[in-house]
Amino acid sequence: MNRRQFLGTAAGAVAMSALSSSAGQAQTVPPSDQINLGIIGVGSRGREVMRTFLRIPGVRVGAICDIYEPRFAEAQRVLRAEVPSFRDYRKLLEARDVDAIVVATPLYLHAEHVIASLDSGRDVYGEKDMAMTVPECDRIIKAVKRTAKKLQVGLQYHYAPWYVEGLQRIRDGKIGTVTHVFSYWHRNNDWRRPVPDPKDQKLERLINWRMYREYSGGLLAELGSHHLHYAARILGGMPESVTGMGGIVYWKDGREVPDTVQVIYQYPNKSTLFFSSITTNHFEGAHIKVYGTKGTITLTHANGRYNYEPKRAGEAEMEEGQAVRTGLITGPTYRAEMPYSGAAEEFQIPEGDSGSATFLACQSFVDCIRNNKRPQVDEIVGRESGAMVALGNLAIQTGKVIRFADHVKPLA
């Protein structure tokens, strides 16, 4: 369908109306607060982040970059505007009317693109994971320090109200002492994107970069990173060691990264974090379950809840002495919930906090730029997450227990 035919339909009208709205410049925001974004990498995630940023008053997209040209048209369909498009990210960084950069390229390019963007004098929203290796993470840490610019890493669930509430309840001691985090992100698909010419191996590796070790950290990076660092905030930051297994169990289609991974991280106090990702069964999807001595916090991508543990001897009822003072009441055997999971209390999302986790993360980044604040998910968080993913993958590849102290040096 050509453009004229496209415009002839209602869907086309939806797609192209507001074309003249200059990619969404809100008139109510003072010029000094207008932010022009440059987007490096406008694949599916880059376009989604770009679309989300356009929901924030005063944010527009000034330029885009991708090495795969068909994505320019896809990006402009999101923008409803034509913006300067570059194949070389260095050209985008030379553009004058770009205030901040979004990096949404394949993982192996994150360090190069984030550091160059910081060095160009712009604040950066960098998609997760921050970088592919620990040394790359360290180079980014230095670049942030050198340039005094801000870096926010795209671990957006940290901004979701139910994640925030879960963390607060844990820190308030509502579930007692946390001894274990059990998490999984399970899917049932091959994780592939269509390639126009399947025989073109260069194109296959460009579009399906997640499948190849040279470019990707696999399931642990693309899915696990969202869970791993949340757990790390609860259990105490960088783990002491990690072991894991993984392999290509089902999708034997030429990919190099495992379609099934399980890793266990251990902390100095011997508490543990388990993460599993499979691609052959979607039952129960994605959960983080934080187990404490007094209760459990369960988080999904849409909500959170709290379950208390059965009370133990010595707590309120026995202290009140009712069993002695008033006696007990007999009757037929009463029914108890089986299996026992305790009463659930769903987290309530406060009014006005609705919006996707990605929206809240993007909104926070803009707020940090406008008000000179430090991002909550900054380069330090990004380094911890990056190290957990990189060393988890190393454990899977080598079959050994990997000690973090052997690979991650304390920050200066």
Question: Should residue 359 be labelled a site residue for other proteins when binding is judged by CB under 8 A?
Answer: yes
- 2 forms part of the interface with other proteins (CB under 8 A): no
- Contact status: 361 vs other proteins (CB under 8 A): no
Torsion on CA atoms 25, 31, 33, 37, rounded to nearest 10: 50
* Contacts to other proteins from residues 332-351, by CB under 8 A: 349, 351
Region from 73-81, 269-277, 317-325, 367-375 binding other proteins, contact rule CB under 8 A:
73-81
Smallest gap from Cβ 311 to other proteins, in A, equals 31
Report in angstroms how near the CB of residue 253 gets to other proteins at its nearest: 7
| Pair type for strands 35-40 and 59-65 | parallel
Which residues ranging from 143 to 162 are in contact with other proteins (CB under 8 A)? 160
d(CA 127, CA 153): 6
Beta strands in 241-388 (DSSP E): 241-247, 260-266, 272-278, 286-292, 295-299, 304-308, 344-346
Residues in Cβ contact with 301 at an 8 Å cutoff, skipping those fewer than 6 apart = 157, 285, 286, 357
Is 10 or 328 the residue whose CB approaches other proteins more closely?
A: 10
Tokens matching residue 102: 């979004």
Looking up tokens 């599993």 gives 276
CB of 216 to other proteins, least distance (A): 17
Give SS3 for 261: strand
| Residue in the block written with tokens 């002839």 | 8
27 binds other proteins (CB under 8 A): yes
Does position 164 interact with other proteins (CB under 8 A)? The reply is: no
Q: Minimum Å distance from CB 332 to other proteins? A: 35
Residue 32 binding other proteins, by CB under 8 A:
no
Distances in Å between the Cα of 182 and the Cα atoms of 98, 185, 289, 321 are 42, 11, 5, 38
Range in contact with other proteins (rule: CB under 8 A) among 95-103, 113-121, 189-197, 317-325? 189-197
Please, which residues have CB within 8 angstroms of residue 58's CB and are 6 or more apart in sequence? 25, 26, 28, 29, 30, 33, 34, 35, 366
Query: To the nearest whole angstrom, how small is the minimum distance from the Cβ of residue 285 to other proteins?
Result: 6
By CB under 8 A, tell whether 287 contacts other proteins. no
**Residues that bind other proteins in the complex, under the rule CB under 8 A:** 1, 5, 8-18, 21, 23-28, 44, 48, 51-52, 54-57, 78-81, 160, 188-196, 198, 253, 282-285, 302, 349, 351-352, 354-357, 359
